[in-house]
Amino acid sequence: MQAVRVVVHGHVQGVGFRAWVRREATSLGVSGRVWNREDGGVEVEAVGPAAALRNFVAALRTGPRLARVEQLSEQWFESREAPQGFHVG
């Protein structure tokens, strides 16, 4: 199954970014998890159909209204397991 790890930097903590990520993932049928990083960024691991993941990453590039995404890196890989649901950590 297709998977992607995304690290987002900018004004992404304290603006509802993680909750927004969960809503976006759920609406696209993507499972995984999201958490704050100590360096001020947010990290996301997502698993799902390739087209859904591409749309998900495109949404992450913009983020919610109050966020300001300044940098985004993505790493694509194959996953043997798909987590159930989308979890905020």
Distances (CA, A) of 53 to 15, 41, 50, 71: 23, 20, 5, 18
SS3 6: strand
pTM, two decimal places: 0.95
Q: What pLDDT shows up at residue 53?
A: 98
Confidence label for 82 from pLDDT (cuts 50, 70 and 90): confident
> Which positions are catalytic?
18, 36
Q: What is the CATH code for 2-81?
A: 3.30.70.100
- What's the pLDDT tens digit per position in 10-53? 999 999 999 999 999 999 999 999 999 999 999 999 999 999 99
Where would I find the beta strands (DSSP E) of 1-89?
2-11, 31-36, 42-47, 68-78, 86-88
